[in-house]
Structure formats: C-alpha cells, structure tokens
Structure 1
Amino acid sequence: MVKEVAAFSENVSDEKLETDIENYVNLTKELGATDVKKIRTDMIILDERVRARCYSPRCPYYGTNLNCPPHFDWDVEKSREIVSKYKYAVFIMLEVPPEEQTGKDYFSPKHKLPGALKMYEIVAKVQSAAFYDGYPLALGFAGGGSCKRVFCSAVDCKGIKGEGCRMALKSNPTMHGAGMDAYSMASEVGWKIYPLGKTTDPSQIPHGLELGLVLIH
C-alpha cells in the first residue's frame, strides 16, 4: 500500500505529532541506531565553548566545506533562536567500535568512518520522512565527523566554490558546529560517552558514539 502524503498544515494535533515522532523513533532503530530519544527542545544544550572547539585547536576541516565554520556561519545565538521555534526533536545514538574514532591516522582519508556515514544517512532519512509527513521545517544535524571528512575527504568541496554540494540530500551541519553540547546531552539522557583522541588506547574504551538530532516541530 502506498503511504498517503500529508498536506502541510500549521495546525498539527498532539495525537498526530506523538504518533509521527514514535514512527521516527522506530525508523531510526530500523536503520541501525543503537538508541533514540524523543526530547523536548529545552533539553538541547547550547554553549559557545562548543563552537570555540572548532577554532582551538583549529579543526583541520575548518573552512573546507559548507557545513563547517566559517561557511556554516550560525553563531550560538542564531542556534538558540532557531531551536526555540521547535518543541520536539529526535536525538539519535549509534555505538561504534572505538577504533573508528581514535588513532594517529584518524585524519587520513584511508581511515574510514562507517559509523559517521551511517549517522548522516539516518539523520537524512528521518528528516526526509518528517518532510513527507507534513513537517516542512524539520531540520537535521549529524554527529562527529564533518561532511568533508565523511563524504569528500579526497576532493575539494564543490559547495564553497558555488557549484552545488555533491551530497546535498545526505549531508547536514554537525551538532557541535551549531554549538550543541552533544556530549552533555548524551550524558543527560543516560548514554555513556567516553573521551576518544589520537592517543586513546581503544582497548580501554567500551565503544565510541555517533550522535545525531532532528528538530521536528
């Protein structure tokens, strides 16, 4: 049976919204997410210090793509303004092997990030599902690695040249690029998150996390 496409409406009943968000929760699990939470947007933690981490120490992907600063030019106040327009969001978590997020070769194009790629795909599909359910302003944010790192590590970003993004329907800004403190948010909902860096011994860490968020309504 072909699913009926919902007409856009500013007035969405609480019952429809509840049902739709439950469907998105189930969709993320079908797509491979480890866990997912329906959250109120007042649970989204915004902090200027998160954006500061793009600059110090300077991220190697700074300035290389449309979804990282300075090309993604929302400051945290702009993020607060936008988030305040929404009431609910879907917060998504995927456990990944710690080896994916550590090691001296982490920034090499040869170091693959299948978990980050999967999170981008989950976020994009949930955002798309919400659009077709009648939520035209659903807005997605991926987790860790930038879109340049995940999709276009070996080529220049066409978007910043004004030629159009190669992955426009798959890539999104990251939570941290928008100033969202994803680590604290994960901890608040009961997910265990561990520090992972170049010198981390992955045998000492149970898992890494990829996190994503979709603002629904």
Structure 2
Amino acid sequence: MTNTQPMSLQDITEQMMAIAREFGASDAKVVDAAALTVNPELVRYCREPKCPNYGTSGHCPPHGPSAREFELSLDWYEKAVVFKYDLPVSVLMTDERLPVSRKIHETAAILERFAGRAGCVMTMGVATGGCKSLFCSEFDDCLRLKGGLCRHEGLSKPSMSGLGLDFTALCELAGWPVNKVTSESCASDGGMGALAGLVLIGRTP
C-alpha cells in the first residue's frame, strides 16, 4: 500500500507558479489573500463610462458578487497565485489585447483545476476582461443570465475590475513595476504594459 502525503500549500503554490510560466505567463508570484486590495469605487468605472461588457454576462457587474461580497470572501482563502502577461502598450490599448485576455482566463482555469486536484477545497480564478466579448461575442445572450449553464463553464472567470480588485496595488504587492499608461507611452514604440490574473486557494471552507 502506497502512503502518499498530501502536498503542502507551499508545494502547491510553487507548482502553480511553474505551470503559469510554462503556459506563457511573463511572471507569477504568491501573495497572502488577506493582503489583496479591494476598492468598490473601481466597479463604478464599469458603469460610468459604461463598459461594453457591463450587464452582458453572469460574471460582469451588476451580476455576480459585489466588491464587498468578494472582499468578505477573501477570509476563505490563504494564498493567491498572481500572474501577468507583458505586452506593448500599443497592443494593450487595442483589440489586439483580446487574445492575451483569453489566455489569462485559460491560465486561471488551468491553475484552478490543478489546485483543486492537489487538495485545495476553496479555489477561485479571477481574470482580465469580460468573458462575453472574449468567448461568446457571436451570441446575443449569456445562458447564465437565463438560469442555464455557462457555455464555457470552468473557463470563463470574473474580471478583476468587476470585483474591485486594484490592479496597481496588486502589481506593487507582487513586486512588479507599474508603468502608467499615457498618450506618450501609447505613441512610444517601446512602452510596455501588462495584463494580470490570479487564483485564490484555501485548504478549508
């Protein structure tokens, strides 16, 4: 009979970081879930000026958990594996970023599945960009809003901004430099930015 020891949380997070990098992420870090900064005011920008994804899916405001509900739920988790994809600002400010946004949802889904199989009872993936425009742009509706199953269940994730997660604070927490996007950096050939996602994990509910 084989005696298999459960993986430690440190082993799980180290493997998750390695998986993220193997999948193409520019970097990945582990932070305490309690250290994440949630600012409900950020959700207001989903509504005014109105984001094209606002109200279009079960993951985007005003649907899904509010920033306050999300902030309270952080007590359920111990760690967050955060990852980013670097890309030129000239790409970041156009629809050319959409494949990268999809990649972030895919990365979060892979990491979340791994964490669950490794013994984490509580997992939650968070990505960048509204899932409706990324995965269901050819459809007029979101099945979840009609009480059905998501067409991409397990793949689409709530967006960082829709939950009030502060991207700048997240980058600072991970030790990543934050370059402010300006008209000058958009015009520059060498300006770089990033898109990020994360997976929250916990051993017990």
- Would you call these one fold, judging by a TM-score over 0.5? yes
Q: Does 1:125 align with 2:110?
A: yes
Query: Considering only aligned residues, what root-mean-square deviation do their CA atoms show, in Å?
Result: 2.5
Q: TM-score, normalised by structure 2?
A: 0.86
Match of 2:132 in 1: 148
Match of 1:76 among 28, 42, 67: 67
Aligned counterparts of 1:85 and 1:112: Cα–Cα separation in 2: 32
Give the SS at the match of 2:9: helix
1:205 to partner: Cα distance: 5.6
Compared with structure 1, are the counterparts of its residues 77 and 166 closer, same or farther at alpha carbon in structure 2 (3 Å cutoff)?
same
Instruction: Report SS of the residue matched to 2:85.
Output: strand
Q: CA deviation at 1:199?
A: 9.7
Instruction: Give the equivalent residue in structure 2 for 1:43.
Output: 35
Please tell me whether the aligned partners of residues 125 and 198 of structure 2 are also in contact (alpha carbons under 8 angstroms).
yes
Match of 2:89 in 1: 98
Q: For residues 4-49 of structure 1, what are the alpha-carbon distances to aligned partners after superposition, in whole Å with 9 as ceiling and x for unaligned?
A: 9x89xxxx7xx71111111111111111110111101122001111
1:200 and 1:151 map into 2 onto residues whose CA distance is 29
Higher mean alpha-carbon deviation, 89-98 vs 124-133, is at 89-98
Question: Using the alignment, how far apart are the partners of 2:99 and 2:172 within structure 1?
Answer: 23
1:188 and 1:20 map into 2 onto residues whose CA distance is 20
Structure 1 residue aligned with 2:170: 185
Structure 2 CA distance for partners of 1:21 and 1:132, relative to 1, 3 Å: same
Amino acid at match of 2:28: V
1:129-181 Cα deviation digits (max 9, x unpaired): 001111132111012x1111211123222222233211112101012211111
Query: Take 1:134 and 1:198, find their aligned partners in 2: how far apart are those partners?
Result: 46
Q: Name the stretch that deviates more: 20-29 or 155-164.
A: 155-164
Of 37, 48, 57 in structure 1, the residue corresponding to residue 49 of structure 2 is 57
After TM superposition, the score normalised by the length of structure 1 is 0.82
SS in structure 1 at match of 2:199: strand
CA distance in 2, matches of 1:158, 1:197: 37
Contact 1:101 1:196 in 2 (8 A): no
Runs of 5+ unmatched residues, structure 2: none
Partners of 1:137 and 1:216 within 8 A in 2: yes
| 1:42 aligned counterpart, secondary structure | helix
